[in-house]
Amino acid sequence: MIDVLYFAWVRERIGLPRERVETSAATPRDLVAELVAREDRYALAFADLSALRVALDQDLADFDAPLAGVREVAFFPPMTGG
């Protein structure tokens, strides 16, 4: 089980801010493929991975980084703070 968080328009498209997911995905990219296969709203949110960022346990990471041992994955668009 892993906590998956969504922010900004990713959250809006999926329709929830976080969920617990049962997965054996090896990477965030694999996890996205599993989610996209579930429902259209995930497919809509993850249509263009190049427009998204991922954080593993609150550190920015690559979509091909290992998920082993990670407790919290977050998906969101590029940041626009400041």
Partner 1 sequence: MTVRVQSAPFDFGAEGAAFAAGLPSGAVVTFTGLVRDPGGLVAMEIEHYPGMTERAIGAIVAEATARWSLDGALVIHRHGRLPPGEPIMMVATAARHRAEAFQAAEFLMDYLKSRAPFWKKEIGADGEEWVAARDADEDALSRW
Tell me if 58 contacts partner 1 by CB under 8 A: yes
Query: Which residues in 6-40 are b (16+ Cβ under 10 Å) and which e?
Result: bbeebbebbeeeeeeeeeebebbbebbeebbeeee
For partner 1, the closer of residues 6 and 42 by Cβ is 6
For partner 1, the closer of residues 44 and 58 by Cβ is 58
Rounded to a whole number of angstroms, the minimum distance from the CB of residue 58 to partner 1 is 4
Residue type, 81: G
For partner 1, the closer of residues 55 and 70 by Cβ is 55
Of the candidate residues 39, 47, 60, 66, the single one contacting partner 1 (CB under 8 A): 60
Phi, psi of 74 (to 5 degrees): -130, 135
